[in-house]
Structure 1
Amino acid sequence: MTARRPTASAGPGADGALAFVTVTVGDLRLALPLADVRAVIRLPDLVRIPLGPPSLDGLAQWHGEAVPVLDLSLALGRQGGGRQRGAGRGTRETRVVLVGHRGQPVGLRVDAMAGILRTAPGRIDPVTEEDGGLDPAMLDGVLRDGPATILKLDALIDRQFGDMVEDADRPALRPSAGPADVGTSASGPASGRDGARDAPALLVFGVAGQEFALPVDRVREVLPAPHEVARMARAKAHLLGVMAVRDRLLPLVDLRALFGLAADGNAPGEAAGRRVVVVRAGDGRAPVGVLVDEVREILRLDRALIDPVPPLLAREPEFEDLDGIARVDGGRRLVSVLSAERLFRHGAALGAEGNGAGNGEGIAMEPARAGDGVAGAERFVVFRLAGAEYGLPVAVVREVLRRPDHVTPLPNAPDFVTGVLTLRGEVLPLIDQRRLLHLPALDAGARVGRSAGAERGRVVAVGREGADAARVGLLVDGLSGLLTVAAERIGPAPAVSAAQRRLIRRVATLETAGGAARLILLMDADGLLDMDRLADLHGPALPVSPG
């Protein structure tokens, strides 16, 4: 048997030598053609993407692109190596080798990088059945100078994403409708049969145990709270200072101090789940950030359920910041609706304290250009699921509700349909996103330390208007809030399976205020609304690790 030549991508040099990057995986020493290697990096933060092969660790952000990362040990069938998918942060030596595969970068997680080796083609021996117990179809020879086994990268990666090759000729679903494709926005006509066509959408958040809201159309985005805030001299107590957002400064208002609520003594980013709601003032004026404890839900309420502030209270200065009080759940909950204009004036006052100009232009964030009617930008409702963040276009999200205590079972339904919920006289099938996406169930241990409302999760009501109108409710772990994403930050999601490609078509690659990578998986609303197609895609469960 003659020696198997390495692929042309190994890149022979002027002297005819072939170059390889050598790595270790468990007790294996492997060689990757240097010409296929784009970079070798430390193990980055990973975001789990559902419906992928068992060897898929998750997605990493690299140079603004979402890259699937495979655990090479599991891809080679070495389950006995002691690692499971997504296992920990690895060691100081753990590396990810980024290689090119059919025009898409793919990361390979290895235990360590051994070095770079150059060898003559004549010093490559053939592969035998006994070489490391590996499948010879994924190998390209054995380097005598290593010794190291050469991996056939295309064969290895194709085997992990094999169904994508088979599915390449199938028609794709049409993209989810964006702001330019849907006639009604999240703040537009309600979808219920009660005829409340002008019910406004409100983003509800909690501060010191009380509930406040802002109209969704006045919220630009919701961001994680920064760990540090630059405070301004002589500013009032409720004017926290400024935070950096995309290289600009955003004035920050503290609702606890503004309304005289109990202070918790923590820095802005120290309390878990704390968020900054970025408020659009309109008329080209710069946005203002409002620090809140948690984002709870998005509600649509008939305007008759939003009462003006009682005249006796309206005389008090602290109530000038309210536009009204909403009666929710039959009046059992009262939600204070904030005035975006008043919050803007607070932000402008902070700018005046900081630069003496009196108009805030020297310190305020740039005018909201993404999601404020500028072509190309999109707004999403972002929710949490199994440690990752997912997004749906604001235009297709009707409401985000607390998960009900009781759900009516639906006989003979697919196992990912937990039952039905009645919303304003309309019956919504409830889809358990964890089951649908083959994610691990949320066990009791994961709920420790959560509030009762957080334990139940949330229901994201998704709807489509027109002759083919459809409605579903998606069960998720929690609501992150609203997010505006510029067009250049949205790209196609790496294709890891046929089912994933039909449900998760795009991904937003962002950075947090601290510079860390943030990936948001953008779901296709049309795919979620087609129950027959969902049942076909669901199929048998993929093996997953506990999480």
Structure 2
Amino acid sequence: MESIITNERSIDNSSQYITFYLGNEMYGVAIQYLQEIIRVPEVVKVPRVPLYIRGLANLRGTILTILDSRQRLGLAKEEDTEATRVIVLTAEGKKIGCVVDRVVGVISIRRDEVEEISGEEVNKNFLEGIARIEGGKKLIMLLDAKQFLNSKDGEITKKNLFNKAVVSEKYEKGNESLNEEQLQMISFKIGDEEYGIEVTNVQEIVRFSDEISEVPNSPDYILGIISLRNRVLPIVSLRRLFNMEECAFDERSRIIVVNIDEGDYSYKVGFRVDIVSEVLRIPKGSIEPVPPLLKDKDSEEISGICKLNGGSRLIYLLDPKKVLSHRLKESADILRSCEDDDRMEVVNESDKEEQLVSFMVAGIECAFPIEDVREIIRLTDIVAVPKAPDFVEGVINLRGVIVPVIDLRKKFGLEGSRRGEHNRIVIVEISGKRTGLIVDSVKEVLKVKRSQIEITPEILMHEIEQRFIRGIVKFDRSNRMIILLSAEEVLSGKEKKELMEINEAKGE
């Protein structure tokens, strides 16, 4: 906590207040609500919240909602200065950070110096009184901290953060045969060829720019090892496995982390790939077996060939277990040595992991649980729909299915931008219907522990029109935070109805 100037006014029947300026007016908050005073931190913005909510900050592992006190009280917005501070208030288990222009100090105010609010006082809903001190020469507006911290307990706090949306569960139960006939995979490129790995085998996808430590006397296809969240991970070059020339890492390179079960032990390995393309959900019937003439010892890792776009796009489906199976003898010792001895320990519920697909919308990093994402596709031709809501871009034809497409920037009330090659359409289920969401870019597939996910701060749940935020993902060693969204709650009930009408009009 920063040092606070204390005005020693030792008077009976008095209370202490932390005082600060907003513009030319001095305000005070009872000292018992003050937790600490900090400099203005970096914040992660949250879509569709009032202007006075600046965003979320990571305060030593705790998610803190940051309010602009000026805008909260209806005052003109001003730029931060060197004197700007955040006073962290807490009451009844709730905590917020309030941005103020300048902290004055702590003073004692007698009860007889406080006047009740009457008439049409400005912002009287937030005031508990007005103090006239120094013989009435100085006025201090005394804020009611509980009003600043007050928010209704929404039903979202009572929900299991990790349960799927009710509608999604109904859809899955009513379409079990459909789910059984589909396969979800991550597609990527090695050279000019496209490959895929089932999502169930993928632990996460990471971008890695640091050096890889080489391992002496290892096969040439093992590039070396890296430290990933304090765990040693061997990195395998798929280019070298496929007898291709190695190329340098660039901004598009990724490492796909997979778990491989092999006999009496399992291990994790990172496959270095050139580009990660998409998350696809495809009918299993579209996967054809490898032709007999192509089957040999060096290609047994290919378990099938997926034909898309009428056969013009081929994806070779890899079996991670078989990728290294016939090479296992020469690399088994290295892979075993990279594994932790405690891998069989019972995992605490809070240590269990959630797999997420993260993406960017106007500089805000958001994510869906991977089970909510049907697939991710590149931008394609979108047909406009007359009289549709402004955030509905139109509809696309996705392999014979008409899918409405929503611009998330517009839906969240964010500033629009010119679209380019990085934009993607994330296909999700809303009320049992496939819906496309346009995002600026897809960032990565990652795994986080449940203990990293905090329930949405109550003040946000109270203020947001649609409770589409399921939680906030935090990272202990950085200021990075990810807003975890609920696909089912992205639209309000009225908007879902309008979307259903578009589907019906298009013959869905």
Match of 1:326 in 2: 306
Cα contact 2:114–2:131 (8 A) shared by 1: yes
Matched, 1:153 2:145: yes
Deviations 1:347-395 (A, max 9, x none): 9977844xxxx62355699479889x99964433333222223233333
Q: Which structure's residues are more often strand, by fraction? A: 2
Separation in 1 of the partners of 2:291 and 2:10? 82
Match of 2:362 in 1: 386
Give the aligned residue type for 1:475: I
Cα contact 1:251–1:350 (8 A) shared by 2: no
By how many angstroms is 1:416 displaced? 1.8
Cα contact 1:504–1:521 (8 A) shared by 2: no
Separation in 2 of the partners of 1:299 and 1:169? 33
Cα contact 1:20–1:33 (8 A) shared by 2: yes
Find 2:488's aligned residue among 526, 534, 538.
526
Separation in 2 of the partners of 1:403 and 1:91? 42
Question: Secondary structure of the equivalent of 1:395?
Answer: helix
Matched, 1:415 2:390: yes
By how many angstroms is 1:107 displaced? 1.9
Match of 1:462 in 2: 429
Between the aligned residues of both structures, percent identity stands at: 24
Give the aligned residue type for 2:384: P
Cα contact 2:356–2:445 (8 A) shared by 1: yes
Matched, 1:56 2:53: yes
By how many angstroms is 1:53 displaced? 0.5
Find 1:135's aligned residue among 108, 123, 136.
123
Q: Against the structure 1 CA distance between its residues 312 and 439, is the aligned structure 2 distance closer, same or farther, given a 3 Å change threshold?
A: same
Cα contact 1:69–1:109 (8 A) shared by 2: yes
Deviations 1:390-413 (A, max 9, x none): 233333332222221x21222222
Cα contact 2:351–2:451 (8 A) shared by 1: no
Separation in 2 of the partners of 1:368 and 1:221? 21
Q: Against the structure 1 CA distance between its residues 347 and 178, is the aligned structure 2 distance closer, same or farther, given a 3 Å change threshold?
A: farther
Show structure 1 runs of 5+ residues with no match.
1-11, 84-89, 159-163, 538-547
Separation in 2 of the partners of 1:460 and 1:120? 59
Find 1:104's aligned residue among 94, 110, 129.
94
Cα contact 2:43–2:55 (8 A) shared by 1: yes
Find 1:279's aligned residue among 244, 247, 258.
258
Separation in 1 of the partners of 2:322 and 2:163? 33
Q: Against the structure 1 CA distance between its residues 120 and 412, is the aligned structure 2 distance closer, same or farther, given a 3 Å change threshold?
A: closer
Task: Give runs of aligned pairs for residues 65-464 of structure 1, distance below 5 A.
Answer: 65-81=62-78, 83=79, 94-100=84-90, 103-111=93-101, 114=103, 116-121=105-110, 135-139=123-127, 140-142=129-131, 144=133, 149-156=141-148, 165=152, 177-178=163-164, 182=169, 198-206=181-189, 211-225=194-208, 227=210, 229-256=212-239, 258-259=241-242, 265-266=248-249, 271-272=250-251, 274-282=253-261, 285-292=266-273, 294-307=275-288, 315=296, 317=298, 319=299, 321-342=301-322, 352-353=333-334, 359-362=336-339, 366=343, 377-404=353-380, 406-441=381-416, 443-444=417-418, 452-454=420-422, 456-462=423-429
Separation in 1 of the partners of 2:290 and 2:241? 17
Match of 1:540 in 2: none
By how many angstroms is 1:426 displaced? 2.4
By how many angstroms is 1:327 displaced? 2.8
Question: Secondary structure of the equivalent of 1:522?
Answer: strand
If you compute each CA radius of gyration, which structure gives the higher value, 1 or 2?
2
Cα contact 2:18–2:106 (8 A) shared by 1: yes
**RMSD of aligned Cα (Å):** 4.6
Question: Secondary structure of the equivalent of 1:285?
Answer: strand
Cα contact 1:239–1:253 (8 A) shared by 2: yes
Separation in 1 of the partners of 2:286 and 2:52? 51
Q: Against the structure 1 CA distance between its residues 144 and 279, is the aligned structure 2 distance closer, same or farther, given a 3 Å change threshold?
A: farther
TM-score where L is the length of structure 1: 0.71
Match of 1:4 in 2: none
Separation in 1 of the partners of 2:68 and 2:95? 15
Show structure 2 runs of 5+ residues with no match.
1-8, 500-508
- Give the number of aligned pairs: 479
Give the aligned residue type for 2:201: R
Cα contact 1:287–1:365 (8 A) shared by 2: no
Question: Secondary structure of the equivalent of 1:359?
Answer: helix
